[in-house]
Amino acid sequence: MTAPSPRLAAETDAVAVLPGGPLPYVIRRSPRARRLRVTIDPRRGIVVSLPTSDRRGWRRPDGVVEAFLAERETWIRRHLERAAAARSRVASADGVRDGATLRFRGEPHRLRLVNGAVGRSVVLREGGAAGDELVVGLAARDRRAPERVLRDWLVERARAAIDHEIARHAGPLGVAPTAVTLRDPRTRWGSATRKGRLSFSWRLVLAPPDALETVVVHELAHLRVFGHGPTFWDLVATRRPDHRVWRRWLREHSLELHAALG
C-alpha cells in the first residue's frame, strides 16, 4: 500500500491524553478515507486516517479520535513497543561486513567476506555446525562493492523464488500475468495492474518462504478481484488460508528487511 502524496492528504500532529499517559499521533486527512482508521507506522508512530473536513460529521473529530484511541490503548502501546524494538535492532545492525548477520529466506545467516575469487565475485550459501553462512567471494577484477555483489545475488534468488510461486498458483487462480518486475519499493511488497503486470520487492527473499508466497498469491488474486473486499480475501484464502499470519510477519519485520544492505 503506497503512502498518500501531499496532494492527496493533509497531516497534523496531535496528542491524546489517555489513562496510560499522553499519546502523540499524526492526523492524516485524505479524500480516500471513508472512516476513522489507526495504523502504526514503524518510523512515525500512530497515524490516524480520517475523511476530509468537508465530509459530513468529520469537521471536528477530536472527541471521536480520543475515544477510539482510548478504547484501543493497550493494543496501540503494545505495537508501539514492538516498533521501538524493531528500530533498536535496525540501529544496532552493522551492514555488510565479515561476521555480520543477514536474513535469507527468513533465517539468520552469518556473512563471510573472502577475497581472491577468480573472474567475477560470487555468493555461496553454506551450512555448518555454527549455523548457516553466506560466503561472499570477492574478485579483484570485479569493481562492485560487497553490498552490490550480495544485493545482485539476492535479486536473482528473489526472481527464481517469485517465478516459482507464480507458476504454482497462477493456473489454479485462473490468471496469467503479462509481465513481472522486481523493484525496491519502501511502502509495499507487491502490486498489480489491470493490464496484468505484477511488481514485487526483491526484499521478499529475505523473508520466510511462506511470506513471499503469500504476497505472490495476494497480487495474483488481484488479477481477478481488485480491491480488498470479502470476495478478494476468500480467493486468497483458497491458496493461503494462513495469509494473515504472514502479512502480520511482514508488517512486524518491515523496518528490518528494508534496512538490510542499506
Give, in degrees to the nearest 5, the angle at Cα 215 between 209 and 216: 90
Determine whether domain 101-259 maps to CATH 3.40.50.300.
no
pLDDT at residue 94, rounded to an integer = 57
- For the chain, the 3-state helix, strand and coil shares in percent, each to the nearest 5, are 40, 25, 35
Domain boundaries in the chain? 10-92, 101-259
pLDDT at 3 over 50: no
Neighbours of 129 (CB within 10 A): 4
Q: 206 φ, ψ to 5°?
A: -80, -20
pTM metric for this prediction: 0.71
Between 232 and 49, the more confident residue is 232
In sequence order, which residues have a C-beta less than 8 Å from that of residue 166 and are 6 or more positions away? 177, 180, 198, 216, 220
Strand-pair partners of 11: 28
CA distance 61 to 48: 11
pLDDT at residue 232, rounded to an integer = 96
pLDDT at 6 over 50: no
Strand-pair partners of 125: 134
Between 86 and 217, the more confident residue is 217
Kindly report, residue by residue over 160-196, the tens digit of the pLDDT. 999 999 999 999 999 999 999 999 988 799 999 999 9
Three cell numbers, residue 35: 472512516
Kindly report, residue by residue over 48-104, the tens digit of the pLDDT. 888 888 888 788 777 888 898 999 899 888 888 877 776 665 544 556 788 888 999
Task: Write down the residue that cell numbers 519485520 correspond to.
Answer: 253
